[in-house]
Structure 1
Amino acid sequence: NFLNALKFIADTALLTEFNPPPPQPVPRVGLYEWKEEKKELLPIQPQVGILFYRAHYLSGNTQVIDALCNALIEKNLQPVPVFVSSLREPGVSDKLCEWFTDEDGVNISLLMNTTSFSLAQLETEIPQIELWEKLDVPVLQVILCASSIEQWESESQGLTPRDIAINVALPEVDGRIISRAVSFKTLQTRNHKLETDIVVYEPLSDRIEFVTQLAANWVRLRVKMPSERQVALILANYPNTNGRLANGVGLDSPASCVEILKALKLAGYEVGNIPETGEELIQILTSGVTNDPEGKDWKPINQSLSAAEYEKYFATLPANIQQEIIERWGAVETIENWAISGIKFGNIFVGIQPSRGYDLDPSLNYHAPDLEPTHNYLAFYHWLRESLAADAIIHLGKHGNLEWLPGKSVALSNNCYPEIALGPMPHLYPFIVNDPGEGSQAKRRAQAVIIDHLTPPMTRAQLYGGLQQVENLIDEYYEAESLDPSRLPIISDR
């Protein structure tokens, strides 16, 4: 259209004879044909939708979309990039569902969304837009950052308040999975005569790799048979004593863990012989090595990571990260194995989250923003990712300590410790409903899907259970002393 417009002007002003055709309308919703790097794909591959604004398509500002598509192709996923003017336009939802469904009626397996704002709205006479419900797939919120890469690298906040509002906070209302910023604004050219800057979104390769690998892992989890899935259920433990094991706030974590294991069994997961009660689960866990210093030298170790494997992994971390950990905790210990606290039930591992290090140095704070994780901490999560080969991790109950590790508040880099520990792992997090502030840390810093649970039911602050029975017996005893002393021996025996 632009070229034909120039030809039209030339015909009108310069009396040339280009005779351009009439302008061609650009659809409000359309399939984008990206600059594909040729790669042989198997005949049938899971499809991943990519949603971006039509304005980027019209301006040719699509480098980041091309990069996402090519990275998905490398992971044997078929990208379906679609541009859209606005998700709120009438008819857009139905049109998108058409693009994201193939001729066999098979939907995409996941959607990577780069558009801003939220579809959710207050209950009014205007009907809700049910795009996400119709697609019924995980939706990754992929952030196109409005700042420069230099600003992002230097700021601990990660994003500007504007970016957080429209690209993180509002999309969270839709339940989208917050991933990473994959591109940043950069000056492409400047026209000095017009005093105009041409600014484009420039993709950052390692962020593209992280987000597309996260997408690939969610797709793998979706297509894998339940009986083949490896899942890690991680229980919080603060302070690091067995008496505080599985201490989720407002949640009976041991009993909940058992109920989840039972639900997984009914869903077809391989869970082996699972305990019947939360008390039995705690007995099994505490019979082996835990975070509690008592018993570490003589309790059995159910699984471990070899020191050689950990050293090999540690050497792959960025040089500055290695230096920070060594300065805080010293060089890698010369031990044979790193103990991994927990127990396997079939393909499900129930583990105990390691300490960040405050138990080693009491002056340190649980929420300290500059407290690097210990070698043992990194060994634990490396074992989950590589040795267990977990397809998903569930942190059960508020709150663990992964989301409080040092790094940016949002739009993390490869130098941020939550990403170093967890990697691009599907992450689910049952969390108490009345603390969205702390839950948002897990969503923004550890790509968590928060599954809210209710607060415990309110009751009167009084004695209950066995203590109530003791109080009743004491009252009965003192009453019998004056009215019927012959009953005293019977009451005493009770």
Structure 2
Amino acid sequence: MLMFSLNAISAEDNSTLLATSTDFPDVLQAPNSINVHVSDSYVDQNKTWSEDGVNLANASVSVYDSSNNLVFSGLTNSEGNVVISNLNSANYNVEIKYSTYEPYRQSVDLSTKTSQAIDYMFIPDILLLMDYSSHNEKMDILMEMSKRVAYISTMDYDVSREWLFDYAKFIHLDMFNEGSYTRLSGEYLKELLQNSPANINYNVAYTFGIYTENMLNATGIHIVGASAENNTFHTIENTYIGSYFQADDINESDVLNHNMLNYFRYVQYLINPSKYTNPTLIEDNAPMMSPECGFYHPDLGVYTVVPEPQIINDWIKSNPGYSESDKGSLNWMVTNYPNWLVSTLDPTTLFKTFEKDYVDNIAFDKPFIAIATYYVGGDVVDSLIRGYEANGRAAFNVFKTGTVPSMSSILNKIVDSSNVGISAITSLYSWSLNYGNGSAASDLEDIDLSVLKGVYDISETSYYNELGPQIEWTFSVTYPSFEGVYGPIVLSYVDGMGKSHVIQSGVDKMVKLACQWADLKDMDNADKIVSIVLYNYPPGKAEIGASFLDVFNSTYTLLFKLHEAGFDVGNISDIPSLRNLTDMIVNFGNKGSWAEGLLNDYVESHFDELMAHNQLIDLNQFYDLTAHINASLYEWMINRWGDGLGKIMVYKDRYILIPGMWFGNVFITFQPSRGWEEIQNYHDLSLPPHQQYVAFYEWLDQVVGVNAIINMGTHGTLEWLPGRNIGVMEGDWTFELTLNPTIYPYIVSNPGEAMVARDRIAALMITHMTPAMVSGGLYGNYTVLSEYISHYKDQIKLNVTSNAEEYKKLIIDFAPTLGFDKFNESNQTFDD
């Protein structure tokens, strides 16, 4: 048995105490000894707490005599043991410390015994029940602060931690609603609380929940600061706990760090007021609020207004407790703070201060893109700002947590007052930008800017779900779309530990599309390049068109409307007639594999024009255009369609053809066929696009530099390419080929498929009515002509020649006005 000597000092004599660092049973009978074994309930390997514990090395063990003089100090060995022997027969106090746990102290009487064993396990005595994924920042700060703190997540409930209730001296329940959990009902919680020291001693906090007598009775909660005579939620102690805990979970937030530090200090005081001081008595320790409204830039900081801690302290003391409305929030946050904010906040003045500092300190080429969020900054916001600025755009974050004033009203004010100008908005808001009033439509109509939807912090399950983020889509995308917010792009996800991860490919896609929508706002119409994309599948002249839309007439009319709006459509007199335009469009339509001769004829008869507009793509250019394509998608394409240029719309194995014709800066073209000629290819989720399809969208983006695509009617195929149903991301073909703003006229009677286009290719949908329908038969002037003919026949039967001749004359004169050939007496008779 290995022994080692410590220079421990005895108060009674100068003998040397011996400490044994070995297994506990071997020295249990050592004379005049205290045998200590220490364990830790926290198992670092599993990141949880175990009732069995693990042996704890390097725990500090100190022994004091009856006069509180130190007689021994040492550390436990790797087995968690230390034995102090050669002690005098007397009374001692043993203190065990480790890390940030509360020290443990125990009296030992060796006056009548020769040895005594102490077996102690460190167990957290502060227990929080809350959704860890929502409050991971708070919990991580608290657990980093002290090992006294543990938690059980209400949404991912771990029954193996329930034993902690029996040791908890303080318990905090946050947002508990007994109808929200599978296991954790009110009755179940009542059993867990029954024998907990925290509940026995009225030391349970309950925040942001349901404040009814039924809740108290159902759960048996004994509220902190209350008593058996008056067990109420609205104690000053419970109010302070909620006031510290209301800080937003924002990483590296000074407010959050301040509140969590004083939260912990206050809990220590509530557990042991004789040892710890009440931090709320010191003004600087009062709860602080996270910035609730303002402007942010990573290089300039936060521009906001927040109440001073002393003001919050006054609100807490004068208006303690919680609202019993469905909001379940602190009284002072429901009444005092909103009134203060309305009287103090002036978004326009605040923004002008921010804008001036931005102009003075940051270089930019183009007006702002605003990023609207609930909370200030964060990794996603910083990534978007850096991306926009890398593209020459000024950018900033406007944040608003509460509903009064609304985000849409703030946007309305700053868009109107900005000197730099705001050209587009990226919204990370769910539900509505004006939730309190039910819709932001009127504000957004006044603002008149593109508002693109950034979908952030989806769950890890949704991120890896091959169908996409199903759960989040309704409140994140569908509801905002009702007020005109469109173009959803997934920007981040939250892992199982509550940590947010930026999806850089999503950020890059949002930056690219938002910058292009902003350019559409800023550019002169004469400089904009527009592609009108028509549909022709299966290939062939008979298959050109769209559902319930006269594509040829619509395209013809659109050219003139674009001209009237200042777009460059070339010489207006060069635009052919509707009939001639129709013939020209039919001529350059998609050519099926059976019509190689037609393809060759088209290319050869327009070769110079096609080359001049780079509409013939050779192999080297194809490789350049597709160099950045996701590697797995590219491999999928060539495995299905072969190497090189493929076989569809390829001229003599040398060039991929991009069919179409130019009118100034307007390019009329056809979306490539989906596959071969079978109609079932349209929605085939196992069929990758072919080379011409991929080259088509890359060419529009990289070679043409198109500013906008107009998909002429219902419907195209880009939105039906393989990939996630919603929330398309890197690795989905639709995501890969959505490269430019898309404006999509769509039949109003088909909202289901329109939502697919909106959600998968970030298109701006514009509905059009169904065509007018009339009963079959004659109508208009044809009815008049028919009546003339009937009258003529009647007069012939009646042998009233003079009247018959009058009707004959009317018919001969009127028929040509309806498109009939003129009557020619030389080669036909009237009655024929």
Asked whether the equivalents of residues 4 and 20 of structure 1 are also in contact (C-alpha less than 8 Å), the reply is: no
Give the TM-score taking structure 2 as reference length.
0.51
Closer/same/farther in 2, CA of residues 343 and 404 from structure 1, 3 Å limit: same
Paired residue for 1:323?
Answer: 635
Counterpart of 1:291? 591
Residue 108, structure 1, aligned to residue 428, structure 2: no
> Aligned partner of 1:174: which letter?
E
Tell whether the 8 Å contact from 2:364 to 2:393 is kept in structure 1 after alignment: no
Report the residue type matching 1:206 in the other structure: S
* The one of 727, 731, 741 aligned to 1:426: 741
Identify the residue that residue 814 of structure 2 maps to in structure 1.
none
Q: CA deviation at 1:50?
A: 0.8
Matches of 1:374 and 1:415, distance apart in 2:
16
Structure 2 counterpart of 1:376, one-letter code: Q
Q: 2 CA distance for matches of 1:143 and 1:369?
A: 24
Distance 1:83-1:73 versus aligned 2 partners, 3 A rule: same
Deviation at 1:399, TM superposition (A): 1.1
SS in 2 for 1:297: helix
Corresponding residue of 1:282: 582
1:24 to partner: Cα distance: 4.5
Which whole-Å CA distance do the structure 2 matches of 1:472 and 1:21 have between them? Answer: 95
Letter in 1 for 2:559: L
Q: How many angstroms does 1:3 deviate by?
A: 4.9
Question: In 2, distance between residues paired with 1:363 and 1:93?
Answer: 45
**Is the contact between residue 408 and residue 416 of structure 1 (CA under 8 Å) also seen in structure 2?**
yes
Using the TM superposition, give the Cα deviation of residue 66 of structure 1 relative to its aligned residue in structure 2, in angstroms: 1.7
Equivalent residue, structure 2, for 1:219: 518
Of residues 671, 678, 681 in structure 2, which corresponds to 1:353? 671
Aligned with 1:393 (options 705, 709, 727): 709
Distance 2:788 2:457 in 1: 68
Is 1:460 the counterpart of 2:775? The answer is: yes
Question: Displacement, 1:289?
Answer: 5.9
| Contact 1:29/1:92 (8 A) holds in 2 | no
Superposed CA offset, 1:140-166 (max 9, x none): 010014211x652341x2112x21111
SS for the counterpart of 1:210 is: helix
Which deviations, in whole Å up to 9, do the C-alpha atoms of 1:115-156 show, x marking residues without a partner? Answer: 11135899x9x89663312322100010014211x652341x
Q: Which residue of 1 aligns with 2:397?
A: 81
2:468 corresponds to: 158
Contact 2:408 2:440 in 1 (8 A): no
Deviation by residue 1:360-392 (Cα, 9 ceiling, x = unmatched): xx3843222222212121222222112211011
Q: For residues 356-375 of structure 1, what are the structure 2 equivalents within 5 Å?
A: 356-359=674-677, 362=678, 364-375=680-691
**Contact in 1 for aligned 2:744/2:763 (Cα 8 Å):** yes
CA spacing shift, 1:277–1:476, aligned 2, 3 Å: farther
Q: In the alignment, what sits opposite 2:371?
A: 50
Q: CA deviation at 1:90?
A: 4.1
State the partner residue of 2:760.
Answer: 445
Deviation at 1:201, TM superposition (A): 2.1
1:48-92 Cα shifts (integer Å, max 9, x gaps): 1111113xx4xx8x2222222222222222222022124x43455
2:548 equivalent among 227, 250, 254: 250
Aligned residue identity for 2:464? E
Q: How much has 1:36 moved relative to structure 2?
A: 7.6
The one-letter amino acid paired with 1:310 is F
Q: 2:439, 2:499 → 1: CA distance?
A: 36
Q: Which moved further from structure 2: 304-313 or 270-279?
A: 270-279
Matched residue type, 2:622 = Y
With over 3 angstroms needed to count, the CA separation of the structure-2 counterparts of 1:182 and 1:22, relative to structure 1, is: same
Residue in structure 2 matched with residue 490 of structure 1 by the alignment: 829
The aligned counterpart of 2:508 is 209
Q: Is the 8 A contact 2:570 2:663 kept in 1?
A: yes
1:185 and 2:494 matched: yes
Unaligned 5+ runs, structure 1: 189-198
Matched to 2:569, the amino acid is: V
1:119–1:291 distance in 2 versus 1, CA, 3 Å: farther
The answer to whether 1:174 aligns with 2:483 is yes
Matched letter for residue 283 of structure 1: D
Is this contact kept in 2: 1:403–1:442, CA < 8 A?
yes
- What's the CA shift string for 1:276-313, capped at 9, x where partnerless? 54322111223446435362121234432322211232
Whose radius of gyration is greater, 1 or 2? 2
Contact conserved, 1:48 with 1:112, CA < 8 A, in 2? yes
Assess if the C-alpha contact under 8 Å between 2:371 and 2:395 holds in 1. yes
| Counterpart mapping for 1:54-73 below 5 A | 54=375, 57=376, 62-73=378-389
How many angstroms apart in 2 are the aligned matches of 1:260 and 1:373? Answer: 29
Question: How far, CA to CA, are the matches of 2:785 and 2:418 in structure 1?
Answer: 71
Aligned amino acid, residue 77 of structure 1: R
Matched to 1:250, the amino acid is F
Indicate the residue corresponding to 2:113 in structure 1.
none
Mapped to 1, the partners of 2:413 and 2:669 lie a distance apart of 43
**Whole-Å separation in 2 of the counterparts to 1:231 and 1:381:** 13
- Residue 312 (str. 1) matches residue 624 (str. 2): yes
**Partner letter of residue 271 of structure 1?**
V
For 2:531, the equivalent position in structure 1 comes to 232
Distance across 2 between alignment mates of 1:237 and 1:96: 42
**Range with greater deviation from structure 2 (287-296 or 139-148):** 287-296
C-alpha offsets along residues 426-445 of structure 1, whole Å, 9 cap, x if unaligned? 11001111111111111011
Alignment correspondent of 2:822 = none
Partner Cα separation in structure 2 for residue 353 and residue 468 of structure 1: 42
1:117 counterpart SS class: coil
Q: Does the Cα contact within 8 Å between 1:184 and 1:202 map onto a contact in 2?
A: yes
Q: Which has the higher contact order (CA 8 A, sep 6+)?
A: 1
The residue identity in structure 1 corresponding to 2:719 is E
- The CA deviation at 1:235 is 0.8
Contact 2:432 2:440 in 1 (8 A): no
In the superposition, the TM-score normalised over structure 1's length comes to 0.82
Deviation for aligned residue 1:336: 2.1
Offset, 1:473: 11
- In structure 1, what residue type is equivalent to 2:829? I
TM-aligned CA deviation for residue 184 of structure 1: 0.3
Of residues 8-17 and 319-328 in structure 1, the stretch that sits farther from structure 2 once superposed is 8-17
One-letter code of the match for 1:171? P
1:192 corresponds to: none
Shift of 1:269: 1.0
Aligned to 2:363, the other structure's residue is in SS state coil
Please give the alpha-carbon distance, in whole angstroms, between the structure 2 residues aligned to 1:218 and 1:130: 21
Q: Residues 472 and 391 from structure 1, CA distance in 2 versus in 1: closer, same or farther, beyond 3 angstroms?
A: same
**Contact kept in structure 2, 1:290 and 1:342, CA below 8 Å:** no
Contact 1:227–1:270 under 8 Å retained in 2: yes
Aligned partners of 2:689 and 2:721 also within 8 Å: yes
Larger CA deviation: 262-271 vs 286-295: 286-295
1:295 counterpart SS class: helix
Name the aligned partner's letter for residue 555 of structure 2: C
Over the residues paired in the alignment, what is the CA RMSD in angstroms? 3.7
Which residue type is aligned with residue 350 of structure 1? I
1:472–1:317 distance in 2 versus 1, CA, 3 Å: farther
Could you tell me how far apart the structure 1 residues matched to 2:719 and 2:781 are? 38
Question: Contact conserved, 1:145 with 1:185, CA < 8 A, in 2?
Answer: yes
Q: Is the 8 A contact 1:141 1:178 kept in 2?
A: yes
Q: Deviations over 1:439-492 (max 9, x none)?
A: 111101111101111110120033679999999999899999988999994236
The range that moved more, 178-187 or 225-234, is 178-187
Distance 1:492 1:118, change over 3 A: farther
Q: Percent identity?
A: 25
Amino acid at match of 1:272: G
The size of the alignment, in residue pairs, is 466
Partner of 1:332: 644
2:667 is paired with a residue whose SS is: strand
